Amino acid sequence: MRRSSTATSPTERRDTARTPTTLRAKAFPGGLDCVVKDYSLRGARLRFPGAAPSDDRIVVVIWSTGAAVEAVRTWSAEAEAGWRFLNRFDLRGPVPKRLAAVKAEWLGRRRKLHRRALQDCGVMIGYRGSPRGVHLS
């Protein structure tokens, strides 16, 4: 059966524009590394180093910022999958209990450096003020 010429492609059916990115993220459960290839207000396309997760519902965390979304799978093709966003969360603030383990893993993602440690390790070479004058995020 032949498709009519009026059929629209998936990219033409979207009512919101997608923004291409290369943001590093993790998908939970499992903490799978992935890359956000493009996103919109309603969803995203994720690429995984191996096969896409088998779960139909995941939590995606942008690892550098702590922005998290609950998402449901809309399509899958080998190492890529499309996800529709359900809920958005900021892991820097309070989150529902179901995301407590995800937040704990994100918070433990790197060792915290305090001002004294920065001063002792030479990062503040050339800085003549007190370590209290250094603003860290």
- Tell me, what CATH number does 44's domain have? 2.40.10.220
Mean pLDDT of 4-8: 39
86 in a structural domain: yes
23 in a structural domain: yes
pLDDT digits (tens, 9 = 90+) for 98-116: 999 999 999 987 666 666 6
65 in a structural domain: yes
Q: List, as one string, the DSSP characters of 39-62.
A: E-SSEEEEE-SSSPPS-SEEEEEE
Contact between 29 and 58 under an 8 Å Cβ cutoff? The reply is yes
136 in a structural domain: no
Check whether 120 has a pLDDT greater than 80. no
Mean pLDDT of 74-92: 92
57 in a structural domain: yes
Domain containing 47: what range?
10-112
pLDDT value for 112: 63
Check whether 42 has a pLDDT greater than 60. yes
Measured between alpha carbons, how far is 98 from 95 in angstroms, rounded to an integer?
A: 8
Our count of domains for the chain comes to: 1
Helices marked H in the chain — which ranges?
Answer: 10-13, 100-107, 115-121
Measured between alpha carbons, how far is 27 from 11 in angstroms, rounded to an integer?
A: 24
